[in-house]
Each structure stands twice: as C-alpha cells, then as structure tokens.
C-alpha cells in the first residue's frame, strides 16, 4: 500500500516526506495505522551517522496506533486494537525465553539492521528502490507501519496513544533502568546525568521506588528547574560546577545513571561512586571510549550497560501507563506535539532542548 513516510536519505540532513510503498503484513507481522510516534536519540544517532543503519531509511521507533490487519500467524492482537510498539526480539534465544528480550542474542540486526531476518525490506520508494525499514521492528515515522508480533503491545482503549509511544523506548529506558535493573532503595543516593526524556523518566521512577536522595546533573538551567519541580532533591549545573567535586561534597553516590554518553561525564561520575556503587550507561556513539583506572573497580564498583531499561514490554509498558494514570509518572510535562509534516522542526527543538520529548501526530 502507498503511505507517507519521513525518509532520511543523507547524513546530517533534513528528512524528506515522501510517498512510499509498504508491504502487506507477512505471517508474523501487523499493519498499524500510526497515531503518534516519539522522536528519540536513537533516531538522531542514525541521522548523525553515530549508528550504522544504512541510508536511505525510514526511522521511528516510539510508535503507537491502531491495528489495521494482521498476518495469518498473529493471534495476540486484531484489527481495531490500540497498540504501543516496542523493540524487536527473536523470541527464541535464552534471554528471550527468560522474558529478558532487551538482551536478545539477535537484538542488533533485528533493531538496527534495516532489514527483516531474510534480508528483505518492508518499504520501497516509488522508483522501486529498497529503503532501510523494520527499524526497531516498526519504522514508525510514517502514516502506517509494519510491526512484529513480538513488539506489538495491546493496551486498553482508554489509553492516551498520543502520549504512549515513548513508553516503548525513551520513557521505558529511563524508568526501567531504575525499576528493573538497578533497584535502588530508600537508603540509596542516585545521580541522573542529563536532562532529556530518558533522564526525567529515571527521575520519576526513582521517586516511585522511594529512593532516599535523587540528584540530577545537567548543563542547562531550565530543565534543572523543572527537575526540582518534579522531585529532584538536588540539582547540579555542570556548566558552572565541577561534577566530581560536587558529588564528593554530597558524600558520593550509590548509583549513577548516565544518559549523556560523554566520556568526561562518565569519568567524573566514576570518581564519585561509592565502593560497591554502580554506574549504568544507557547510550553512546559506537566509537566512543571510556578510560578507566582499574584499581578504581577493586572496591566493587561496577560499570554496566542497561539496554532499553531491561523490560519485559508486555508487562512493563502497561505498568508505566498505570503509573502515569496514577500521577506518579508525569511524562506529559515533558512533551510537545508536532504534525508529521513538521518533523524537522521537532528534531531541531529536540536538539536545542526547547522540547524535551517531541511527539509526532498523524
């Protein structure tokens, strides 16, 4: 079928709205009419050339919409169901069988490869040229997308789909790092590095978990003011304050959650980590390096990655929606809405910090 999609054709260039051809759903695929899709740092990393998905591509991986048709093998959703889309996984490796799909053995090709497992793409341009698609099992910067039975989560009819797409990635990554992976308690001090949507989601989750002290460190004053309003106990403006010294004056930290990917920030934070503390890294460019003095790890300090918040999406996405509805996960304070036609404005506002989480509406 013919749809409208935002196509990224050239690195570091605006996306182009184009008419493209989308395949019919295969046996395990689901055709979804998109209602909304968030813009995430993972999309921008491809546009910027920091991650290797081949261009031209249809990106987008925080989609929510309404099921239109399903493949013959799909029994979990049906036409008319509201759904939130998450990341793809194989469903059969040991990690997937243990309900830990973020650690799927085939995660990289399934989510970043731009192809189905058989090498085909789901989208071609009107000249018949293949476009990288299946991005995180969806490629939802479009009016319609093909998702997979394993990354399509049915939600209740009353769920606000316009807000819910990022539960499958950005909001879920920050919250899941706290609630699923690190699990800090009331005696813990947690520092969250950065002030984007992932960082704020971690802040909300830390409050849900009853963390004793939550610190937010970032370089811009406006989001730090918002972080204080939304529950941070301490904020640090790293544009004017030495991060390592500030954290040491506060007595150090038990857990650090980095959303910046900056080696300098990571090194400063590691220096303030308590013995047996954990530094969780949520994202970085594929060639960034961190220098670690090995004796710093001997007291039990841990540096670890946390992919996508370590969720089981069919359980975690509905949980986050419940927390939002209860007033504990106020992600509506972070978002700005843009029509698909203004995708490049939304990206610019994301980069500048004008909008913490831009969401495109169809």
Query: Of 343, 348, 335, nearest to 362 (Cα)?
Result: 343
Q: Please give the radius of gyration of the chain, using alpha carbons only, rounded to the nearest integer.
A: 20
Look at residue 314 in the predicted model and tell me its pLDDT. 97
Statement to judge: residues 285 and 141 lie in one domain: no
Token output for 325? 């509805």
Q: Where are the alpha helices (DSSP H) in 209-309?
A: 221-229, 243-249, 263-271
Q: Is the pTM of the predicted complex or chain greater than 0.75?
A: yes
Statement to judge: residues 283 and 345 lie in one domain: no
Query: Residue 297 — left, alpha, or beta (φ > 0 → left; ψ -120 to 50 → alpha)?
Result: alpha
Look at residue 285 in the predicted model and tell me its pLDDT. 64
Look at residue 287 in the predicted model and tell me its pLDDT. 67
Statement to judge: residues 130 and 33 lie in one domain: yes
In a domain? residue 323: no
In a domain? residue 321: no
Statement to judge: residues 55 and 183 lie in one domain: no
Statement to judge: residues 39 and 116 lie in one domain: yes
Statement to judge: residues 46 and 65 lie in one domain: yes
In a domain? residue 320: no
* Residue ranges making up the domain that contains 128: 2-168+330-361
Q: What is the CATH number of the domain that holds 194?
A: 3.40.50.720
Statement to judge: residues 93 and 23 lie in one domain: yes
In a domain? residue 87: yes
Statement to judge: residues 196 and 214 lie in one domain: yes
Statement to judge: residues 20 and 139 lie in one domain: yes
In a domain? residue 251: yes
Q: Is the CB of residue 235 less than 8 Å from the CB of residue 227?
A: yes
Query: 253 — phi, psi (to 5°)?
Result: -135, 150
Mean pLDDT, the chain cut into blocks of 10 residues (362 residues total): 97 96 97 98 92 94 98 97 98 96 97 95 96 97 97 97 97 98 97 97 98 96 96 96 96 96 92 95 78 90 96 97 98 98 97 96 96
Look at residue 286 in the predicted model and tell me its pLDDT. 62
Query: Of 202, 55, 258, nearest to 139 (Cα)?
Result: 55
Cis-peptide, bond into residue 56, ω within 30° of zero: yes
> What is the count of structural domains for the chain?
2
Statement to judge: residues 108 and 154 lie in one domain: yes
């Amino acid at each position: 079928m013919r749809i409208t999609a935002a196509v990224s054709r050239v690195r570091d260039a605006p996306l182009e709205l184009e008419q493209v051809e989308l395949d019919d759903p295969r046996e395990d695929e689901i055709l979804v009419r998109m209602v909304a899709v968030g813009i995430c740092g993972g999309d921008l990393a491809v546009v910027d050339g920091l991650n290797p998905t081949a261009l031209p591509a249809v990106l987008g991986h925080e989609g929510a919409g309404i099921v239109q048709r399903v493949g013959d093998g799909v029994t979990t959703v049906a036409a008319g169901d509201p759904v939130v889309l998450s990341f793809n996984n194989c469903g059969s490796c040991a990690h997937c069988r243990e309900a830990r799909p973020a650690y799927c053995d085939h995660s990289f090709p399934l989510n970043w490869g731009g192809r189905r497992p058989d090498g085909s793409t789901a989208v071609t341009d009107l000249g018949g040229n293949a476009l990288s698609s299946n991005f995180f099992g969806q490629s939802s910067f479009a009016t319609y997308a093909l998702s997979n039975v394993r990354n399509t989560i049915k939600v209740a009819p009353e769920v606000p789909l316009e807000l819910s797409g990022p539960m499958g990635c950005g909001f879920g990554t920050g919250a899941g790092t706290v609630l699923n992976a690190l699990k800090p308690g009331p005696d813990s001090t947690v520092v969250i590095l950065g002030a984007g949507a992932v960082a704020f989601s971690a802040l909300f989750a830390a409050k849900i978990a009853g963390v004793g002290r939550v610190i937010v460190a970032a370089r811009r004053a406006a989001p730090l003011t918002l972080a204080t309003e939304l529950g941070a106990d301490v904020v640090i403006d790293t544009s004017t304050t030495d991060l390592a010294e500030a954290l040491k004056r506060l007595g150090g930290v038990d857990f650090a959650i980095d959303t910046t990917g900056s080696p300098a920030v990571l090194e400063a934070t590691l220096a303030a980590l308590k013995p047996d503390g954990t530094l969780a890294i949520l994202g970085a460019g594929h060639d960034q390096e961190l220098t670690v003095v090995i004796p710093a790890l001997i007291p039990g300090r841990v540096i670890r990655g946390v992919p996508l918040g370590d969720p089981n999406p069919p359980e975690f996405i509905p949980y986050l929606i419940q927390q939002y509805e209860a007033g504990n996960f106020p992600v509506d304070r972070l978002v700005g809405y843009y029509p698909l036609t203004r995708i490049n404005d939304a990206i610019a506002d994301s980069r500048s910090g004008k909008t913490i989480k831009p969401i495109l509406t169809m």
